[in-house]
Structure 1
Amino acid sequence: MTRLMMAAACLVALCACAVTDDRLRSRFEATLAADESATAALKQWCTRQDIATPALITVDHLPTDGATASADIRRMLEVDAEEPLGYRHVALVCGSTTLSVAHNWYVPGRLTADMNDVLQTTNTPFGRAVADLDFTRERLESVEGPTADCPADTILTHRAILRRRDARPISTVIECYTPANLRTAGP
C-alpha cells in the first residue's frame, strides 16, 4: 500500500508541474502577443520572472555566415533584387540569460540614418532601435518548438513582419524563444 500511495503522490506532483508549465507558457505567450515589440515584451517578462535586475534587453551578435536574402524574404519586404538589405543574427539577452535567438532581415532605406547606425554599431535590439517608427507587427506563424532556423531546444518560434505606419514593411524576423523563459521566478 505504501508504494501505491508514493506512486499516486508522484503522479499528482507530475500533473501539478505540467499544469504549472502550461500556465507559465500561456502567460509567456500572452506577454508576447500583447506587444508589437518582442524586445518590449521580453523586458516585461524578464521583470515579471525576476530573471535579471535591471531587466535590460541587449543583443549578442551571432555569426551571419554570409547569409543572403531569399526571393521569399525580398517578396515579404516588398523590395526588388537590387535593394540593399540588412541582416542581424542575434541572441536577445536579459542579464546573462538568453531569452531568444533572432534572424532579422530589414530594409535600411526605410529607416533613419541614426537607426541604421545604432543597428550596425551597438548591441541595441531592433525593436528598441526603430521604436520611433511606431511600427506594427504582423504575426505570420507561431510554432511550438523549433523550426529549421532555430536551435534544437527552442520552445516557441515566431515569424513576423514589422511595418511602418504607412504599412511598408521594414523587417521580417524569425524569433526562437529559449527554455529559460519558462523557469519560475524566485528560488
Structure 2
Amino acid sequence: MKHAALAGMVAGMLASAGCSPALERFERTLAARDSATQALGEWCSTRKIAEPPVIRALADRQAGEPASAAVRSALGVGADEPIAFRHVRLTCGDTVLSDAKNWYVPGRLTTAMNATLETSDTPFGKVVAPLGFHRERLEQRRGRAAECPAGTVLSHRAVLKLADGRAISLVVECYTQANLRG
C-alpha cells in the first residue's frame, strides 16, 4: 500500500475513533515513513521538541530478550540463525519519544552496521537506511500493547524488509505521551 493511502486510512480510522488532532497528526507522520527514526526526526522538528531535532537511541546494553519462535518466523530464520536484540529509548534532546525493542538478523547487515548498532546511540533505521528497507506493519493500536510501558499512546509492531523480501528486523515500538505535548 502506498504511504499516502496508508496515512489517509489511518487518519480516517483515528478521526472516527475520536482521537485528538495531535494524535492523528502523529500517526499520519509515522504512517508516511518506512523509518520510524525519520518520522520521529520530522515530528521533533515540526513540534520543536528540541533544537537541533536529532534522534538518538539510548540503548540498554544489558537488555537481552531471546527471539521466540514467533519472532524467528516473522524474520524468516531457523532456530540456529543468530538473532541480535536491542532495547532503546529514542530521544529528541532530553525527551523520550519511543521505547523500542528490536530483534534483528546480523547476518543480513554489513559488519560496519553491526558494529555501529553494538557501540553507538545511532538509531537502527539510520544505520540500515543504505539497505533501502521497507516497513511491513503487523499491528498498530492506540494505547499500550502488552510489551509497552505505562503511558504509551501508540503501539506498533512491524517487520523491516529488504527489496528481495528478506526480513532484517522485527520491532515493537511504544510511543510516549511526550509526542503529543506542545
Runs in 1 of length 4+ with deviation above 6 angstroms?
none
Question: Which residue is 2:69 aligned to?
Answer: 71
Give, as a single letter, the amino acid of the residue that structure 2 aligns with 1:59. A
Give, as a single letter, the amino acid of the residue that structure 2 aligns with 1:159. R
Q: Which runs of 5+ in 1 are unaligned?
A: 1-18
Question: Which residue is 1:154 aligned to?
Answer: 152
- Provide the TM-score with structure 2 as the length reference: 0.88
Taking structure 1 as reference, are residues 65 and 88 closer, same or farther at Cα in structure 2, changes over 3 Å only?
Answer: closer
| Aligned counterparts, 1:22-171, within 5 A | 22-62=20-60, 65-171=63-169
Which moved further from structure 2: 145-154 or 36-45? 145-154
Percent sequence identity is 53
SS at match of 1:171: strand
Question: Which residue is 1:173 aligned to?
Answer: 171
Taking structure 1 as reference, are residues 64 and 77 closer, same or farther at Cα in structure 2, changes over 3 Å only?
Answer: farther
Tell me the CA shift for residue 41 of structure 1: 0.1
Output the CA distance in 2 between the equivalents of 1:111 and 1:63: 19
Do 1:64 and 1:88's aligned partners in 2 also have CA atoms closer than 8 Å?
Answer: no
Give, as a single letter, the amino acid of the residue that structure 1 aligns with 2:116. V
What is the RMSD computed on CA atoms of the aligned residues? 1.2
Do 1:161 and 1:170's aligned partners in 2 also have CA atoms closer than 8 Å?
Answer: yes
Tell me the CA shift for residue 65 of structure 1: 4.2
Structure of greater Rg: 1
- Provide the TM-score with structure 1 as the length reference: 0.86
